Amino acid sequence: MLRPAHHAECGELASGRNSAEGVTAIAANPRGADGHTIARPEVFMCLPARVSGIDYMHDKGHYHAYNRAMTTTAIQVQSPALPSIFTAHPQARKRMRDFFSSHIRNKNTRRAYLEAVRQFSAFCAGVGIEDLAQVEPIHVAGFVEDQLREHSRPTVKQRLAALRMLFDWMVVGQVIPLNPAHSVRGPKHTQKKGKTPVLTPEETRTLLDAIDTASLPGLRDRALIGLMVYTFARVGAVIGMRGEDFFVQGRRGWVRLHEKGGKEHEMPTHHNLDSYLEEYIAAAGIGQDRKGPLFRTSKGRGGELASRPMLQSDVWRMIRRRALAAGIETEIGCHTFRATGITAYLKNGGKLEIAQQMANHESARTTGLYDRRSDDISLDEVERIMI
């Protein structure tokens, strides 16, 4: 059973640096999906989080409780230790609730925008602003400069975009007459090459071969990593797969990926991936469970799989553990295999336009950010410095 966190706990969580240390939500429906009381409508529930762009909640219980709260009909953001200027008045509070519950549908965007609002509210509290009507462009510009001291330019640009959208929402709702963030320019940022760590084909093969496939979790992990490598899939699409999303068509295995933005993407499987998936599904005995999750969490250390799907945080921890066991020093993450697969494909004569289709990118420029072939050229040129 979840109970509202104490104000002291929320006060400790309000001091985060890189990501949300506390998210507060009001559930208008006082009971969750399991029938237990989440919180009274008048009580704020503070959900702790981890400082990480990958693993937001401390555990699965908090993660699922967060999503339950965020999908109810009433949501508000306010830390008891950190008053929010967006919830100071009933009309603003209602618009705030509607913005995060009905206007922002993607849960990852919702979490990022919630953090932007929390950070801006903290900044306003620090300079003595307690009402939305007091906010002027100079305050938003000051917030941008303050954020640049500790955060990257892309993060600051995203948070400014969140404020612009929320202020526009407030203007439409006649809470404020003008958008104070509209005229504020964000920091310039251009990127020609991605920062995602990439493995060489040899390192990737070492990682896959080092996984102990004598156990069911080993078969699952090899299939999951192989799926991200050979299909360039995002981790969110992989953990969202069901049994029916691996199917046979034209005597060949195919996978169906449900990508962000509601896009559905199908592509044939590489022969290695085909065998990885078939071995895992046969050993797990989930071939007939077409509606169940394809990649499931394991029960303790016994190796038996549960009925729940893996979370993104589960995958990240598994990857780090497998990389360490394989002797790979590169600090890889879930997105590493997307970039690794695209780079390996292009190195072997693949076309950028086809890689764009396989990765389900809207623009070839986005795909080009994953192309790390120039790294080898740079290394060769550096070695020419004979001193």
**pLDDT at res. 139:** 95
What does the pLDDT read at residue 230?
94
How far is CA 2 from each of CA 11, 40, 64, rounded to the nearest angstrom? 19, 11, 11
pLDDT in tens, 91-144: 998 998 899 988 988 888 899 999 999 999 999 989 998 888 899 999 999 999
Question: What CA–CA distance (Å, rounded) separates 167 from 177?
Answer: 10
Least confident of 30-44, 52-66, 147-161, 358-372: 30-44
pLDDT score for 261: 72
User: So what's the pLDDT on residue 379?
Assistant: 62
Question: Tokens at residue 282, please?
Answer: 């046969």
Tens-digit pLDDT profile for residues 175-211: 999 999 999 998 886 666 667 888 999 999 999 999 9
Residue with tokens 């070695």: 383
pLDDT value of residue 162: 94
Count CB neighbours of 258 within 10 A.
Answer: 17
CA-to-CA distance for 316 and 221, rounded, in angstroms? 11
Give the 3-state secondary structure of residue 246: strand
Residue 164 clears pLDDT 90, i.e. is over it: yes
Residues 6+ apart with CB under 8 A from 29: 38, 72, 73
pLDDT of residue 347: 87
- Residue ranges of the domains in the chain? 7-172, 201-381
What is the tens place of the pLDDT at every residue in 83-94?
478 888 889 989
Average pLDDT, the chain: 78
- pLDDT for the residue numbered 130: 85
Task: Please count the CA atoms within 13 angstroms of the CA of 14 that sit on its side-chain side.
Answer: 23
pLDDT of residue 2: 36
Total-model pTM: 0.61
CATH topology of domain 201-381: hpI Integrase; Chain A (1.10.443)
Cβ distance 121 to 135 under 8 Å? no
Which two tokens mark 187? 């920091």
Structure tokens at 213: 């496939």
Q: What pLDDT is stored for residue 380 in this prediction? A: 66
pLDDT at 372: 66
Which pLDDT tens digit goes with each residue over 301-357?
777 889 999 999 999 999 999 999 999 999 999 989 988 999 889 888 888 888 888
- The 10s digit of each residue's pLDDT in 15-49 is 333 333 333 333 333 334 334 333 333 323 333 33
For residue 314, the model assigns a pLDDT of 94
Weakest mean pLDDT among 47-51, 217-221, 229-233, 290-294:
47-51
